[in-house]
Amino acid sequence: MLPLLVVLAASQSKAVSWRIFGACKNSPVHEGTYQADLTKSVGALSLEIFDANKIPYVGSAEGINSIINSPIGLDSIEVVSDTELRAYGWCYTINGKQPTEMPDKIQFKSQDDKLTWFYAYSTNKNNEWTDYCSPAYWIAADQFCK
């Protein structure tokens, strides 16, 4: 029975690759691989990755408010004009696809999965949201990138 448990435990622990993109450049500010317990949620594993790599963050497995000391609250709003603003926050993808669920509701499916966290914006123009989770480095706003 013990050899079977060892094999089962080993099959649940795999190295997944991860990257974090900030507000200003289309290149990761942090990246690596992590020996992950695939029975845990993406949110829980993200916190483990941040802790293991001493990456500052604010948030929980349910969602991330700040990574690498990014602004939160009113400081994360960019006023473009009287009728347009951008609200910034953190989004994630797995294998290049953005799940609709929060990270605590998603699990990796294999060790080949790739996790990407990126600072992003959503634009409100004339009281209508026109986009969602657009990578912030697309525009590299002066507010964050001076």
* Residue 106 CB-density burial (10 A; 0-12 exposed, 13-18 middle, 19+ buried): middle
Determine the Cα angle at 28 with ends 14 and 63, to 5°.
Answer: 65
**Is the pLDDT confidence value at 10 over 50?**
no
Q: How confident is the model at residue 13 (pLDDT cuts 50, 70, 90)?
A: low
Query: Which segments within 22-83 are labelled E, that is strand?
Result: 30-37, 57-60, 63-67, 77-81
Distances (CA, A) of 141 to 15, 74, 77: 34, 15, 11
% of the chain residues with pLDDT over 90: 85
**Is the pLDDT confidence value at 8 over 50?**
no
Please report, as a single letter, which amino acid is at residue 105. Answer: K
The encoded tokens of residue 124 equal 């409100």
* Mean local confidence (pLDDT), 1-28: 72
Determine the Cα angle at 111 with ends 36 and 137, to 5°.
Answer: 85
Residue 137, phi then psi, degrees to nearest 5: -65, -15
The overall average pLDDT reported for the chain is 92
Rounded CA-CA distance 93/112 in Å is 14
* Residue 125 burial (CB count, 10 A): 14
* Residue 55 burial (CB count, 10 A): 17
Residue 129, phi then psi, degrees to nearest 5: -75, 125
Nearest C-alpha neighbor of 24 from the set 89, 90, 95, 120 = 120
Sketch out the chain's domains with CATH numbers: 16-138 (2.170.130)
